[in-house]
Amino acid sequence: MKKLIYALLCLAIICSLSIPFALPAAAKQYDLTGTWLFNDIWQGVAYPHTITISTFNPDGTFSGTGYYNNYPITEDVTGQLIGDSITFHWFTTSEASYGVTIDGTGTLLSSSYMSGTGFQSDGYGPISWDATRIQSQPPVADFKIYPADDPTPGQYKPGQTIPMVGGLITFDATDSTGDIVMYRWDFGDKGNYIVETYEPIVNHIYKEEKTYHVTLEVVDSNGNTATKTMDFTIPKLQPGDILFCCTRGYEFIPGFFTHCGIYLGNGKIVETVYGAGHGLPANGVGISDIMEWSADHETAVAVYRPIINAQYVKNAVHIAKNFARQNPHITYDLIVAFKSQAPDSYYCSELVWAAYSLGSGGNVVFTPWIKGGSEGYWTDVSIGEINLGNTWGYLGMRPDRIAADPRLQYVAGHWEDEPGSPN
């Protein structure tokens, strides 16, 4: 029995991993716009009306006009559809029977048929009713694109997230109108690959920095279609940009961010990891792919750009890249309470700090210090022009101290699930 339970649990996990990036299913909210043949039925006799619903709002409220087919009587109609439950109020506007009302409730049984009961105010008492759609408004395709942003603010998170490679992007077609039953998405990155959904919101991840031509086609219940195309750009990162992440499970590290690395260009990042991570071997420095920082692996990532002398940035990238290539098997520096410009190993933020310090003209000078009767040496006194993190008063170097440096400017990020948030 235990083996069976374990097997079923594994199958459930595998199935959950295969689900595409789509938001949880919600009840279908049909658009009622169009023309309906409405029968109010009293004592077995149907009295036909033609109703045109001209306005249907996102909250399900609607309005329109109508007329009695067998007599010159006109009506104003208002109501609301919530899920498949409908309520309406009917007010006669013609002189012959001005002010007569019908109030009804019922159920939308399909996109083109509904029925229920009501009460007519002129003494005809309770009625039953049904309505059949005889003509629908043509659909209109419309959508918005934005990063799938965790709404809770973070310490280093700006008010507006700028998209980046690997981030979860939301495509929102809720502004489309019509009795839509299908949404077909071409995200512009896989040839003619089409994603079909029954819900108006879907998520997608891009793997390249470029402009994509995104096309939405909507299909209504009568097979009518409408399309809209929009360009969406994933901005390019620049060599020297610094990536920060907040990895779930490492919240014990002081500060908000738990890790950082330097972008080299062409989708590559130099970083130092402790334990295998980001596709790198355990305990050392290496060059990883930017997709290792995607929403599949990290759900709180920020990219900051040093606004400093361009030559210093080039020097820092060169130093970091050479260190990774020349020292592929060094171990992670576990002495995180101190930092050095040229040690035998680095921890992640120490590597970033040292690359920019050395790249801006720093020199390794061991300076003696005496504290509490103990003697030793430190190396963070003779630094270059750029001392990221303003750390004269600190021995170690944490990622969040670098991120808080005023010479860094936020340029991109993705925040699907910020660790510590209520989501």
Asked if the model's pLDDT at residue 423 lies above 60, the reply is no
Say if 420 falls within a structural domain: no
Residue 312 and residue 266 share a domain: yes
Q: Is residue 358 part of a domain?
A: yes
Is residue 247, in this structure, part of any structural domain at all? yes
**Residue of 187, 357, 184, 166 whose CA lies nearest to 243:** 166
Q: What Å distances lie between residue 46 and 52, 127, 131, 147, 281, CA to CA?
A: 19, 10, 11, 52, 77
What are the helix (H) ranges across 238-363?
310-326, 348-359
Query: Do 128 and 180 reside in the same domain of the chain?
Result: no
User: For position 357, what pLDDT does the model report?
Assistant: 86
Count CB atoms within 10 A of the CB of residue 208: 10
What per-residue string of b and e applies to 75-114 under the rule 16 or more CB within 10 Å gives b?
A: bebebebeeeebbbebbbeeeeeeebebebebebeebbeb
Q: Is residue 42 part of a domain?
A: yes
The answer as to whether 167 is a domain residue is yes
Identify residue 207 by its one-letter amino acid code.
K
Q: Does position 157 have pLDDT exceeding 60, yes or no?
A: yes
pLDDT at 271 over 90: yes
pLDDT at 63 over 60: yes
102 and 147 inside one domain: no
* Closest alpha carbon to 237 in 195, 217, 266, 213: 266
Distance of CA 372 to CAs 306, 337, 339, 376, 380, Å?
37, 17, 20, 11, 20
> Same domain for 246 and 390?
yes
CA distance 252 to 260: 16
Q: Which of 111, 136, 161 is the endpoint of a domain?
A: 136
What confidence score (pLDDT) does residue 81 get?
94
Q: Which tokens in the block code for residue 268?
A: 């590559």
DSSP 280: B
Select the more confidently predicted residue: 152 or 287.
287
89-113 mean pLDDT = 85
Other Cβ atoms closer than 10 A to 361: 13
Same domain, 256 and 405: yes
Question: Which position has the higher pLDDT, 185 or 72?
Answer: 185
- Tell me, yes or no, whether 254 and 336 share the same domain: yes
Go through the chain and tell me how many residues it has. 423
Residue 361 counted as domain residue: yes
Task: Give me 67's structure tokens.
Answer: 């007329």
Give the total number of structural domains in the chain.
3
Whether residue 190 sits in one domain with residue 77: no
Q: Which domain holds residue 396?
A: 242-414
> What is the pTM assigned to this prediction?
0.68
Inter-axis angle of helices 310-326 and 348-359, to 10 degrees? 130
Cα distance between residue 67 and residue 74, in whole Å: 4
Q: How many DSSP H helices and E strands does the chain contain?
A: 4, 23
Q: Are residues 156 and 126 located together in one domain of the fold?
A: no
Residue 329 CB-density burial (10 A; 0-12 exposed, 13-18 middle, 19+ buried): exposed
User: Which CATH number belongs to the domain containing residue 368 in this structure?
Assistant: 3.90.1720.10
Residue 246 sits in the same domain as residue 340: yes
Percent of the chain exceeding pLDDT 90 equals 35
Residue 175: which CATH number? 2.60.40.10
Assess if residue 185 is contained within a domain: yes
337 or 238, greater pLDDT = 238
* pLDDT bucket at 382, cuts 50 / 70 / 90: very low
